[in-house]
Structure formats: structure tokens, C-alpha cells
Amino acid sequence: MLTFRKALLASFTLILCCFGSTAIVQADPVVVDPVGDTFGVGPVQLDISSINGTVSGSSLTFAVTFVSAIAPPSSSLPNSVVGFIDIDADQNRFTGAPPFQGVFGPPPAPLLGDEFFVDLGSEASHPGLVDIRNAVTFALTGLAPITYTSTSFSVTVPLAFLGGDNGIVNYGVIIGTFSEPTDEAPNGTIPATSGPPRAPVPEPATLLLLVTGLAGGALKARGRRKDNYRSSQ
Ligand SMILES: [Ca+2]
Ligand SMILES: [Ca+2]
Ligand SMILES: [Ca+2]
């Protein structure tokens, strides 16, 4: 019975460690944006639902999801997404250029000082690619691939286009239609920060299997010991 209790204790300790390490080691890089917080007046109000900046290997990927359908600028549709991603590469609001979010979004402006930016509308002139530019000189630093789904887009920026930055940046997104800006993220003054991809969180079903597996193993071991004990009598 002691072994069974010990096994249960060990499995629960393992569960606590799993949850503990997920919470402590890594912050979630996903920023959720409210639904219905658009600020344009036109018939099409593109509404951001989340933004996510993840660093992997030698590139930084920005993913933006929307409440309803979007289209690439090269499609020239009413729901084509244009706008900018402000990149504060040195995470210092006092260096670089004022953010596009501050220019085109409602106040208050986010606390960003851009070293670089992504020009989402530039996809109209080279489908599947967007301009990455130096925010101070506007010099082109590279063309980054952009992919679209019906309700999201994702831009993968080689770190070489960001002056060899480590990919941990503060950033913000301002988007809209060809007619007007309609949404930004994050709202308010605190910028988003990129990070490593979200760590996989063990699902409750997996944890249950783990517990029953460990407990079952302990019971079997106990049974074997009982059999051995009986046969030795
Ligand atoms: Ca929104
Ligand atoms: Ca800066
Ligand atoms: Ca917003």
C-alpha cells in the first residue's frame, strides 16, 4: 500500500512540476485583442482578434488573426489588409522613430520607438512579399514572405533584416482597409513583446493517462509482490 501511495504522490508531484514549469519558464507571446473595438467609419471594419510574435531560429514571425475574412492587398478587395507592424528592436521607446500606431491609431500611443517596420500594403506590388524598412531612413532592409488564410496572416522576418537583432522586440500592429485604419493591437500604451513559441501545455486527458498509468504500474508491482509472497509461503 505504501508503494501505491508513493506512486500517486510521485505522479501528482510530476503534474505540479509540469504546470509549474510551464507557468514560470515562459510567458505567452499571444496578445488577445477585443472583438468590436474597431475605430473606422466605412462599411468594412477589419477587426484584429489576436497578435503573436514568435522567435524561432534566425527569424521572427508575426501572426495576426481577425474576427472575419480578410484578403491580401494584391487582391485589391474591400477587405484587403494594409497597415504597419511597428518594431522596437532595441525595446527602447526613446530610440528610433515614432510608431505608426501613434500616427494612425486612436490615442494613447503605445510606448514604442521603431527601429524597423513592416509595410503590409507593399504586398500589392509584390504578391506574397512585404517590405521591411528601417524606420528612421525608410531604407528597404529586405522582402519578407507573408502568407494569408481567410482570417489571418503571418509574416516571417529574417533577423538579418532587423540588423541582426536577437528577435526579442517590442511591437504593435495597426491595420485597416485601403480607405482607412480600422484596428490596432495591443490597445493602450503597453506594447506587445515577441518571445519563443508557446510551450505545449499538457492536456488534462494526457495527465489523467499519466496518473492512471503510474497508479496501474504501482498496483501491478504490488500484486506481483503479493504473488511472490504467497508462493514463498
Ligand atoms: Ca479587435
Ligand atoms: Ca527603439
Ligand atoms: Ca484593438
User: How far is the centre of ligand 2, averaged over its atoms, from the C-alpha of 116 (Å)?
Assistant: 9
Ligand nearest to the CA of 92: 2
Does residue 171 belong to any structural domain of this protein? Answer: yes
What pLDDT does 3 receive?
53
User: How far is the centre of ligand 2, averaged over its atoms, from the C-alpha of 197 (Å)?
Assistant: 23
Domain span including residue 49: 27-193
Please check the confidence at residue 185 and state whether its pLDDT lies above 90: yes
Kindly list the distances between the CA atom of residue 171 and the CA atoms of 91, 151, 168, 213, in Å, as whole numbers in the listed order.
9, 21, 10, 44
What pLDDT does 198 receive?
74
Does residue 224 belong to any structural domain of this protein? Answer: no
The residue among 57 and 232 whose pLDDT is bigger is: 57
What is this structure's pTM? Answer: 0.77
Does residue 152 belong to any structural domain of this protein? Answer: yes
DSSP strand E in the chain: where?
30-32, 48-56, 59-66, 82-88, 116-119, 129-134, 140-149, 152-158, 170-176, 181-185, 192-193
The residue among 208 and 169 whose pLDDT is bigger is: 169
Total domains in the chain come to: 1
User: How far is the centre of ligand 1, averaged over its atoms, from the C-alpha of 33 (Å)?
Assistant: 5
User: How far is the centre of ligand 3, averaged over its atoms, from the C-alpha of 23 (Å)?
Assistant: 26
What pLDDT does 80 receive?
98
Ligand nearest to the CA of 136: 2
Please check the confidence at residue 162 and state whether its pLDDT lies above 60: yes
Please check the confidence at residue 167 and state whether its pLDDT lies above 50: yes
User: How far is the centre of ligand 3, averaged over its atoms, from the C-alpha of 37 (Å)?
Assistant: 6
Please check the confidence at residue 204 and state whether its pLDDT lies above 70: no
Does residue 199 belong to any structural domain of this protein? Answer: no
pLDDT cut 70: percent of the chain above it: 73
Does residue 209 belong to any structural domain of this protein? Answer: no
Q: Give, as one character, the DSSP assignment of residue 37.
A: -
User: How far is the centre of ligand 1, averaged over its atoms, from the C-alpha of 222 (Å)?
Assistant: 57
Q: pLDDT averaged over the chain? A: 85
Q: Tell me, what CATH number does 105's domain have?
A: 2.60.40.1190
pLDDT tens column, 53-111: 999 999 999 999 999 999 999 999 999 999 999 999 999 999 999 999 999 999 999 99
User: How far is the centre of ligand 2, averaged over its atoms, from the C-alpha of 193 (Å)?
Assistant: 13
Please check the confidence at residue 233 and state whether its pLDDT lies above 70: no
User: How far is the centre of ligand 1, averaged over its atoms, from the C-alpha of 34 (Å)?
Assistant: 5
Please, which pLDDT band fits residue 197 given cuts at 50, 70 and 90?
Answer: confident
> Rounded CA gap, 167 and 156, in Å?
11
Ligand nearest to the CA of 173: 3
